[in-house]
């Protein structure tokens, strides 16, 4: 393999029609430049330059070499320019997963902020089940994922670290039988079907156990829907209930459509994690988006805020807390 610097050496000698001026332009000794050019010729088994009465000129093989070398150097220059643009977030690609799928709502605000600030970066968002997100991470088809990903912490080759915990609230439609002045108990709530995604652990087993203990006629969740928009539509037009991040209940629009209550003490906050392949080095784009997620949640009172690996010094430098392997 010919070193790029040696390709440039041949190009400079050809451009200056001599070794002396080329060596001066390259800040090399003439002997060092001569050895460099000779090593290229020996590697190729070709004579690229020949001395004449009017200086050094290219041979036929030399002209062939320079023509192709110019293309190579132009491509290298484009790579270097593109690399700088990616570092500056003027361009680049980032593939993000969200799981369960309904938790893609976590990304909406931060993504809007990111796109406004860095419109040149191409984003691909995949919302899926936790299990499917784990497969995509291992295949290298996602750079990182966010959501309730604790169950992936035992998977070899995947790192899972907590970003924060977010309280959840129960909600029903306005005019629901439970839309009264008092806060309903879980027993009262579980008399109705629950709609929403298959909850992550520990909530899935918790809801199933509570439904049995409280004599619910429904296996919870009873209606499994990944889309939160569809969940809201079902809640609004039926007697079903669901859970929502507590911060969403502060919205005037949400409050006009739904009645909500803080979850009982035995329903813990939802742990929101970030996951990636072991050994992955986060690019600046990933660091920025995860940082925007944390800052958005911090402003709304989320707890246990952590930071992803490689986070810029201007933000907190604490490491994400790794979950123990199960």
Q: Is the pLDDT of residue 317 over 50?
A: no
**Half-sphere exposure in the Cβ direction for 294 (13 Å, CA):** 21
Is residue 302 predicted with pLDDT exceeding 90?
no
Residues 179 and 255 in one domain: yes
Instruction: State which of 262, 289, 312 marks the end of a domain.
Output: 262
Residues 171-217: pLDDT tens digits? 999 999 999 888 999 999 999 999 988 877 778 888 999 999 999 99
pLDDT in tens, 263-296: 888 888 989 999 999 988 888 888 889 988 888 8
Confidence of residue 323 (pLDDT cuts 50, 70, 90): very low
Looking at the fold, whether 154 and 199 belong to one and the same domain comes out as no
Q: What is the pLDDT of residues 220-258, one digit of tens each?
A: 889 998 888 899 999 999 999 999 988 888 889 999 999
Judge if 157 and 277 occupy the same domain: yes
Same domain, 274 and 158: yes
pLDDT score for 60: 92
Average pLDDT for residues 284-313, to the nearest whole number? Answer: 67
Q: Tell me: do 158 and 175 sit in the same domain.
A: no
- The predicted structure's pLDDT at residue 281: 86
pLDDT digits (tens, 9 = 90+) for 139-172: 999 999 999 998 898 888 999 999 888 889 999 9
77 and 124 inside one domain: no
Q: Please name which of 108, 205, 112, 115 lies closest in space to residue 151, comparing C-alpha atoms.
A: 205
Claim to verify: residue 96 and residue 83 sit in the same structural domain: no
Say how far apart CA 241 and CA 147 lie, in whole Å. Answer: 22
Among 217, 232, 262, identify where a domain stops.
Answer: 262
pLDDT at 324 over 50: no
When pLDDT is averaged across residues 19-32 and rounded to a whole number, the result is 92
Domain identity same for 162 and 298: yes
Instruction: Please report the pLDDT score of residue 81 as a whole number.
Output: 65
110 and 252 fall within a common domain: no
Q: Are residues 102 and 245 in the same domain?
A: no
Domain of 78, in residue numbers: 4-87
Same domain, 28 and 81: yes
What is the domain count for the chain? 3
| Residue in the structure block whose two tokens are 């799928």 | 101
Q: Residue 95: what pLDDT?
A: 93
pLDDT of 307 > 70? The answer is no
pLDDT for 43-84, tens place per residue?
A: 999 999 998 777 888 999 999 999 999 888 888 877 776 667
224 and 81 in a single domain? The answer is no
Return the CATH number at 246: 3.40.190.10
**Domain-ending residue, one of 87, 116, 133:** 87
The CATH number of the domain holding residue 40 is 1.10.10.10
Which residues contact residue 239 at a Cβ distance below 8 angstroms, ignoring those fewer than 6 apart?
172, 173, 176, 177, 192, 193
* Phi, psi (deg, nearest 5) at residue 320: -65, 145
**Four-CA torsion 134, 282, 146, 141, nearest 10 degrees:** -40
């Amino acid at each position: 393999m010919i070193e790029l610097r040696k390709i440039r050496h041949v190009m400079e000698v050809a451009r200056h029609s001599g070794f002396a001026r080329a060596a001066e332009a390259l800040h090399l000794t003439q002997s060092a430049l001569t050895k460099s050019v000779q090593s290229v010729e020996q590697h190729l088994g070709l004579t690229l330059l020949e001395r004449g009465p009017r200086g050094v000129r290219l041979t036929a093989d030399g002209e062939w070499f320079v023509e192709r070398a110019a293309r190579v150097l132009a491509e290298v220059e484009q790579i270097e320019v593109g690399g700088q643009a990616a570092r500056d977030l003027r361009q680049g690609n980032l593939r993000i997963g969200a799981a369960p799928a309904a938790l893609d709502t976590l990304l909406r605000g931060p993504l809007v902020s990111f796109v406004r600030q860095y419109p040149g970066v191409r984003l691909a968002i995949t919302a899926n089940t936790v299990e499917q997100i784990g497969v995509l991470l291992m295949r290298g088809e996602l750079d990182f994922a966010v959501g309730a990903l604790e169950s992936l912490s035992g998977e070899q080759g995947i790192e899972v670290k907590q970003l924060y915990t977010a309280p959840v609230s129960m909600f029903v439609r306005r005019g629901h039988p439970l839309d009264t002045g008092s806060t309903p108990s879980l027993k009262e709530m579980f008399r109705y079907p629950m709609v929403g995604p298959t909850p992550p652990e520990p909530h899935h087993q918790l809801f199933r156990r509570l439904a049995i203990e409280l004599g619910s006629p429904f296996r919870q969740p009873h209606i499994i829907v990944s889309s939160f928009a569809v969940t809201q539509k079902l809640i609004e037009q039926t007697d079903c209930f669901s859970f929502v991040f507590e911060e969403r209940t502060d919205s005037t629009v949400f409050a006009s459509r739904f009645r909500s209550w803080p979850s009982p003490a035995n329903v813990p906050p939802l742990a929101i994690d970030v996951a990636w392949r072991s050994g992955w080095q986060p690019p600046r784009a990933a660091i920025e988006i995860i940082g925007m997620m944390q800052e958005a949640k911090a402003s709304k009172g989320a707890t246990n805020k952590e930071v992803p690996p490689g986070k810029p010094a201007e933000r907190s430098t604490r490491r994400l807390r790794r979950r123990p392997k199960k």
